[in-house]
Amino acid sequence: MSWLPWLQSLLTFRKDTGSDLVVPRLDAAGRIQVSITDSPHDLGGAEHVADTLANLNAKITDANLDDSGDPRDPNAHASSHQDGGGDEVATATPAANAIPKADGSSKLDAWVTHPEIFHAYDGSGGQTLSDLPPQDMEFDTLGFNSNTAVFSWANDDELTFDVDGKVEVEARVTIEQTAGGGRTIAGLALAYRPSGGSYAFVPGSRSHPYLRNSSDGNLQTLSTSVMAEVSAGDTVKAVVWRESGSGTLQALVSSSSLSAQWSPA
């Protein structure tokens, strides 16, 4: 048969090298089976022939490799991360670890906790201070209330906090001795009533000015302020009185006020 000489040449013992007889294995179709053993090696090793990046890119159909000395910028895509973009990164809704986004007015009000403020003043004046017990100081004009859900104002003298929080309250009253020649002392304090409770002086809030006589047109300004944590329904007011002496003491017009600042607890 025609393949016999070829097969005999394969089975010939190699005398020049002394190698063992190699018998090829044939498959069912009579083809020689060759067994190849993998041998790991470096990409830059002698087993590979050097070539160019351009030739390598020619074999790649879904991307391009760039030389380290010639980088390309990514495609412009800033709009995708901005308002209304497909991959928006900021949010107008406050959340833990989120990136804030300004609202339509370019503000971050939803993200920033800001204080609420209240201010009322005595626009009429003329209230006369009497001896103890103290009387409520009246502030007949509402100057400003930044949030009626936080502050409630009643009877021209009672300020109620409708939300739990931390507050600073300040009262200021300017009085004049309008009659009497003796030395007279006035008093000012803040009174606090917890929800469902009774009024009591706020410790450390009393102020006591000394007025000498009416002939000198004697004026004094009493002031006091406190900081505290309040609960919804708590109320505060300013109270005044004549501590000693017989002089007539009256509040000066547009010279007295009650102010408060509230922040979340």
The pLDDT tens digits for 107-135 are 888 888 889 999 999 999 999 999 999 99
Task: Report how far apart, in Å, the C-alpha atoms of 62 and of each of 47, 58, 181, 189 are.
Answer: 27, 10, 102, 81
Please tell me the predicted confidence (pLDDT) of residue 133.
94
Residue span(s) of the chain under CATH 2.60.120.40 come to 116-263
Please tell me the predicted confidence (pLDDT) of residue 25.
65
Fold of 116-263: Jelly Rolls (2.60.120)
Annotate 34-57 with b (16+ C-beta within 10 A) or e (fewer): eeeeeeeeeeeeeeeeeeeeeeee
* Residue 105, beta-bridge partner list: none
Give the whole-angstrom CA distance, residue 213 versus residue 231. Answer: 43
Q: Are 244 and 130 within 8 A, CB to CB?
A: no
Give the whole-angstrom CA distance, residue 140 versus residue 120. Answer: 7
Please tell me the predicted confidence (pLDDT) of residue 15.
46
What type of residue is 77? H
pLDDT < 50: residue spans in the chain: 1, 12-18
Please tell me the predicted confidence (pLDDT) of residue 105.
87
Match 């053993």 to its residue by tokens: 37
